[in-house]
Structure 1
Amino acid sequence: MPADRLLPDSTTEDLLAMVRDVCRRELAPRAAAAEANSEFPREIFRLLGKQGILSLPYEEEYGGGAVLDEVSLQVVEEIGSAWATVAVGLTTHWASCHPLWKHGTDAQRGRWLPEMTGGGLLGAYCLSEPEAGSDAGSLRTRAVRVGEEYVVNGMKAWITHGGIADFYVLMARTSADGSHGVSCFLVPGDAPGLSGATPESKMGLTGSRTSQVRFENVHLDAGRRIDKEGRGIPMALEALDTGRLCIAATATGIAQAALDCAVGYARERHQFGRPVIDFQGMAFLLADMEAGVAGARATCLDAARRKDRGLPFSKQAAIAKLVATDTAMKVTTDAVQVLGGVGYTKEFPAERYMREAKVLQILEGTNQIQRLVIGRSLAKAA
């Protein structure tokens, strides 16, 4: 059943109805088979580009819809409820466009952003390394200035769309000055010396390709640096705050899908002459699941509305990511329990939702990191 949404206006209602229709026709029918076969749905992202979904956050001059974060997050949630791989891919693509959009020159944005937002170019975000995950200031990948070029060497890890992206937003070290020595670059996917490793064999999100990406003497024109040298970490943290909201929305979508699956089954499954949803124990379990999903959605929207108004939202983004992903893990686990034995089989999607929910507690900073962010904000509060 569709999520009960309170939207700003009729235009937004029409947008969400269009997204829901695309999810129903194009995404949901293909998700199970593609995940079972580890097939990355590249054509789906071209479709999202044609439908204007990839470009929703951006200004009209770049082909965008200039929609509020409050709205774009609900779009992500709808997509997440239909196919989590696509929602995570959309989140990754937006994160990959973010530094160029917010910090690129007019010439850089005019050259690259329209094709990115139109679906012609799919992005990947290169921050993490084998020895640098949450500690972004310890990055070892280096970009050395040689005349009007930079020469890049290093390895990135856990890269969504690694090896198949059309462009990579790369955070690389340009000086030894710790977190102040990292810069941001826009790297074409076909650059000589750039290669993706064998994809990781994952528990869930098997349709999404994740791999290490190696840079071996990759030559970049200096015009592909975004903003000044040393500005990489602030850009990365800025993108992470927004990315956490998108992951929270994806988690809420998965939780909603699991709840819908469980409620549908509990209505149809009969024991002792009546639907199992009529038994108090089952009804209370489903009620807790519904309350959890509604709470996760509320935390996402609170953070998004703060962002839309230009207010600080880092703490709220961490709260949303923590609450929504932990909720998704609980709700999907409970959905498997509601279905009983068949919930543990691939006959129903509940087991897939459960596997997909797990990784969302890790992406965009583990939930332990979210607690650290929240705790630090409390320590600094007046």
Structure 2
Amino acid sequence: MQNPPILIGLVALIGLLLQKKGISELVKGTLTASFGMVALTEGVNMLTGVISPINTAFQKSLGVTSSNSLNDVTFTAKFGGEVGLAMFLGLIIHLIIARFTPIKTIFLTGHMLWWFPFVIVAGGVEGGLNGWKLIVFSAILSALYWSIMPWLMRKFVWAATKDESFLIGHPTGILSLLSGFVAKHLGNKEHSTENINIPKKLSFFREISVTGSIVIFLMYVIVSFIIPSLPGKKNLLFNSINQGLTFAAGLLILLYGVRLLINQIIPAFQGISEKLIPNAKPAFDVPVLFNYKPNAVLVGFITAMITSTILVIFSDSFHIFHIMLVPLVITSFFECGGAAIVGEGQGGLRGSILGTASAAILMVILVGFSGTMFGSTIQNWILIFGGNDLSLMGIISKILASWL
């Protein structure tokens, strides 16, 4: 139970057994789910390994220290069993909510079924919970999030896609809600992002691995001139290229692991939910939205990167959060990409820009507060992947756990 890949495999196995699948599907589904968890973890480790030196260099140059008693890898090794059990129990509660309440959401974004209990368990640990109390607490909070947030977003999603057959189950929730609210009041639907003709020369921005590698390359070059202590400065050009390539490879491995998980975990639960919960709406990963408003994704990514990077520099310069923040490349693309599409649906091009800019401001605030709160557990992880609903639920779990 303390080995996440094995636990994920067991979850898939149970789901397949309940559907009375044959031996071939049982073996393939169980092992592939485990492979996906391994790939996802290694991808995260590669991304963290690229970003961490920049964060550490900033901390050293400004004399800021943080607790390193645990990080995402050691936290998983120590509390992986609690996370897995919270995920499994949370899924049961989530299905009960969908079956017996008007909130008919089935959360099918496989990797987020892991990451939300992961963050919430960390918040519970920071707040002083342990044992069965930590597991039950994390399961309930995870189930409430999986059920409620996609349901809250539904009208914004349907307005953007003109398709009411699905919901979005992704940490973009709070950012998209803010973006939609701002765009509704300040936007202009007469001018759409999809009327913009993007030059073919810039089409590579649509590939997050390519864009991410370029951003990381530039980041290392710029930071190397600012901070002498950054490792690899003697071979600046090649080190920066290598870090950019490593980041892109890590992202591709992570996404591949995600696909493996989704392809196996979702069938294990989807068949059950369809039989037990009629009229439920599936909640999918945010890239499902990208085909509806592809130009909005690019507009959102650029807007979010510019806005958030300016705020990150401002925050680090004035020690606002007493920790060093780094540009949120992944959140700017995925979460703010979703927020941009929601903004476009409410207010066209102007709504997409203003809504995403507002979301980017909230993104920095969330990652700053959550990074501070997770100083003894997963701070390094949340500084890279936070600034979204993961940060929000982490903050809520820490506060509630401390109160309990």
TM-score class normalised by the smaller sequence: under 0.3
- The TM-score with structure 1 as length reference comes to 0.25
- The TM-score with structure 2 as length reference comes to 0.24
> Which structure shows the bigger proportion of residues in helix conformation?
2
> Which structure shows the bigger proportion of residues in strand conformation?
1
